[in-house]
Amino acid sequence: MGGYEEIRGNLIGMLEELNDRLSKITEDVKHVAEPPEKDFAEQAVQAENYEVIDFLGNRARNEIAQIKDAIARIDAGQYGVCQSCGEPIGEARLKALPYSDLCIKCASQQGC
């Protein structure tokens, strides 16, 4: 595989989308400072909502880090190479998961 300009552009688009999503999640979290509901059932629902929002925020931050790493690998000429075994990562895997740093074999062994 050669030039990865198109993939790099797609990764940057994904990064912008995730940053926007994370910004919206952060806005939602700021509303957590509102006083808790008086009703116990409503408090339980609020707690679940905050857990979901926190999960989504953490997941977005993790994906942002993976995308930034992939962009750095492209820039360093190391993209498309498994970080575990050093073999090329299949084109189909890179299309499905463009920020992948493991080939399918290594990912399977690691439970990813």
Give the pLDDT confidence score for residue 9 in this predicted structure: 94
Amino acid at 45: V
Parse the chain into domains and list their residue ranges.
5-79
Instruction: With cut-offs at 50, 70 and 90, classify the pLDDT of residue 33.
Output: low
pLDDT of 93 higher than 50: yes
pTM: 0.78
The alpha carbon of 75 is separated from its chain's Cα centroid by a whole number of angstroms, namely: 19
Average pLDDT over residues 80-103: 94
pLDDT above 70 as % of the chain = 89
Give the residue among 47, 89, 43, 98 at the shortest CA–CA distance from 68: 98
Q: How far apart are CA 108 and CA 57, in angstroms?
A: 26
Instruction: With cut-offs at 50, 70 and 90, classify the pLDDT of residue 11.
Output: very high
- Judge contact between 11 and 71, C-beta under 8 A: yes
pLDDT of 112 higher than 80: no
